[in-house]
């Protein structure tokens, strides 16, 4: 992602990099002198550090957040003939990974306030589906509903007890899309470590962003971890073993792992900074015509994005651009509106997701963003609303 030329960009990695410059240089030199550039100690060290941060379980580094989602599903036995209940309001990778694993995305609408998957609607929809002889719920196509994949959207974390309860009741595996949620927590539980597998992206703009692409899967069960390690390396569980199944080349780069270890040490501090900026936005926009997206309390929020709902998104974005302020649309289309997923089943209407796709706009948010810049953005937004 190139750095924006806007005076106040949507995202700028440079303040964060300046803070970590010494540690990053040390990490670079250590990997360079060690000579191991694919897997090796830098990757295994980072995996252990992230696993400890998440409170237990094991982490397997992969090439991207998209690969993390697909390989997690495959490692848990989700594939052809299976449906995966998920949100229609997320980045395309969420549904794309389900399809690449051979399964079918099954869309249920989101809550209007925080845009997280509507778990009450999920429960009602699953109750209404017929049961097969094995007791599992089945779609009209005959496919078995096998997994639930909620998304921790914009840093908000799904309800741990509710989502686990649904999975236990209906016999589903729980795979979390935590690309936007690393560092978030709810009820003392870390996002990405709530169920069977949690999937992470280290794209530079994420809360734990690298200096390139990368991803990881957290898993609780040793058998799942072992299979993940094989799937990321051509189906080989280890170098001394032959390929047990078709895998792929999806290894986390050693240099990226070393850099991520540096960034992980300051992740909690940066998330606190992000939350403080979100609170400043909420205070500054109070009484205006726009509505900040997210839960009322920011406690435990990963603060990945600052997103607002507005009726005249295009006009507001143009106004902010003229003021030198960067914006982005997350997301211009709900997933079921995209060509690859129009044939995917929906359990109920998806009107909240469709409305969000028409109205949402992201404002600048990143570690190192001055509070004065936030105040300037708020004033520009309010100025547009007064017109």
What span, in angstroms and rounded, lies between the C-alpha atoms of 318 and 316? 5
Q: Exposed, middle or buried by CB within 10 Å (0-12, 13-18, 19+), for 279? A: middle
**Extents of the domains making up the chain:** 14-264, 267-385
Fold of 14-264: 3.40.640
Q: What is the pLDDT of residue 22?
A: 97
- Count, residues in the chain: 387
State the pLDDT at residue 244: 85
Encoding tokens for residue 284? 């500054």
- Write down the pLDDT at residue 47: 98
Residue 189 pairs in a beta bridge with: 186
- Collapse the DSSP code of 38 into the 3-class scheme (helix H, G, I; strand E, B; otherwise coil) and give the result: strand
DSSP string, 155-217: G----HHHHHHHHHHHT-EEEEE-TTTTT-EETTEETT-SSSEEEEE--TTSTT--SS--EEE
Consecutive sets of 10 residues in the chain, 387 residues long: mean pLDDT of each? 71 96 97 92 97 96 98 98 98 98 98 97 97 90 97 98 97 98 96 98 97 97 96 89 90 97 98 98 95 95 98 96 97 98 97 98 97 97 87
Question: What's domain 267-385's architecture?
Answer: Alpha-Beta Complex (3.90)
Identify which of 68, 74, 75, 73 has the alpha carbon closest to the alpha carbon of residue 86.
73
Q: 253 - beta bridge partners?
A: 38
**What residues contact 359, with CB distance under 8 A and at least 6 apart?**
309, 310, 311, 313
Nearest by Cα to 83 from 101, 110, 61, 65: 101
Q: So what's the pLDDT on residue 184?
A: 98
Would you say the C-alpha torsion 275, 280, 285, 287 has a positive or negative sign? positive
What is the Cα–Cα distance from 118 to 54, expressed in whole angstroms?
25
pLDDT (0 to 100) of residue 314: 96
């Amino acid at each position: 992602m190139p750095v924006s030329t806007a005076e106040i960009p949507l995202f700028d990695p440079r303040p964060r990099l300046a803070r970590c410059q010494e540690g990053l240089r040390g990490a670079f030199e250590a990997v360079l002198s060690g000579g191991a550039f694919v897997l090796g100690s830098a990757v295994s060290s980072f995996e252990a550090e992230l696993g400890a941060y998440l409170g237990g379980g094991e982490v397997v580094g992969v090439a991207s957040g998209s690969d993390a989602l697909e390989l997690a599903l495959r490692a848990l036995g989700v594939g052809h003939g299976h449906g995966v209940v998920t949100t229609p309001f997320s980045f395309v990778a969420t549904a794309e990974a389900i399809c690449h694993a051979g399964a079918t995305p099954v869309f249920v609408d989101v809550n209007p306030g925080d845009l997280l998957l509507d778990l009450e609607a999920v429960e009602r929809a699953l109750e209404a589906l017929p049961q097969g002889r094995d007791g599992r719920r089945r779609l009209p196509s005959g496919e078995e509903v096998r997994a639930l994949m909620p998304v921790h959207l914009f840093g908000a974390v799904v309800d741990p007890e509710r989502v686990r309860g649904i999975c236990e009741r209906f016999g589903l595996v729980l795979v979390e899309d935590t690309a936007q949620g690393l560092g978030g927590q709810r009820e003392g539980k870390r996002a990405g470590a709530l169920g069977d597998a949690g999937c992470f992206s280290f794209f530079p703009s994420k809360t734990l962003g690298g200096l390139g692409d990368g991803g990881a899967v957290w898993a609780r069960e040793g058998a799942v971890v072992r299979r993940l390690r094989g799937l990321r390396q051509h189906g080989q569980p280890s170098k001394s073993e032959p390929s047990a199944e078709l895998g792929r080349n999806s290894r986390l780069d050693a240099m990226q792992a070393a850099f991520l270890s540096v960034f992980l040490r300051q992740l909690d501090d940066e998330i606190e900074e992000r939350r403080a900026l979100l609170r400043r936005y909420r205070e500054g926009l109070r009484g205006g015509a726009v509505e900040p997206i997210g839960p009322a309390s920011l406690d435990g929020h990963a603060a990945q994005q600052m997103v607002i709902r507005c009726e005249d998104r295009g006009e507001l974005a143009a106004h902010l651009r003229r003021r030198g302020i960067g914006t982005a649309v997350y997301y211009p289309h709900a997933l079921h509106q995209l060509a690859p997923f129009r044939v995917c089943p929906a359990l109920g209407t998806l009107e909240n997701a469709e409305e969000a796709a028409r109205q949402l706009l992201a404002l600048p948010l990143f570690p190192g963003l001055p509070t004065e810049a936030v105040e300037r953005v708020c004033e520009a937004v309010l100025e547009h609303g007064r017109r």
